[in-house]
Amino acid sequence: MNDKNKDKELTSLPDESEGQLTVDVYQTPDDIVVESTIAGVDADNIDIDVTSESVTIRGERKREEKVHEADYFYQECFWGRFARSIILPQEIDPDRTTSNIKNGILTIRLPKVQRNRAKKVRVKPE
């Protein structure tokens, strides 16, 4: 493949493309936390699927005002469907997962499964 075709392949997207979210993923002692900026999206338009090994965020940012292409000076915001799947670095408990959105920031708290914690057993004399 020559360089000209390679560049075209990298920049061309299908008509029904989905935007991809940017995320921060970090840990606390008890949780894996996923944060993403999702400004302009109603909570009812966000779908989160969680397994013990991954989290998938899907949604749609709807444009309320119709703007003709010729009227744009810049068009950098993504409008439409978006999705992001994240493979988690550690097993989590999907049943205890919580999420909220505040000031355009989606926060998902995924409680870690604590199987590797050692428990000290004290030997009692009889």
Query: What's the pLDDT tens digit per position in 63-97?
Result: 888 888 899 898 888 888 999 999 999 999 999 99
Element spanning 19, H or E: strand 19-20
Residue 5, Cβ neighbours under 10 Å: how many? 9
Query: What's the pLDDT tens digit per position in 5-29?
Result: 444 333 333 445 677 789 999 999 9
Give the global pTM: 0.73
Q: Report CA 105 to chain centroid distance, whole Å.
A: 11
| Structural contact between residues 58 and 81, judged by C-beta atoms closer than 8 angstroms | yes
Structural domains of the chain ordered from first start = 17-65+73-111 (2.60.40.790)
| Structural contact between residues 100 and 109, judged by C-beta atoms closer than 8 angstroms | no
Return the structure tokens found at 6: 């390679």
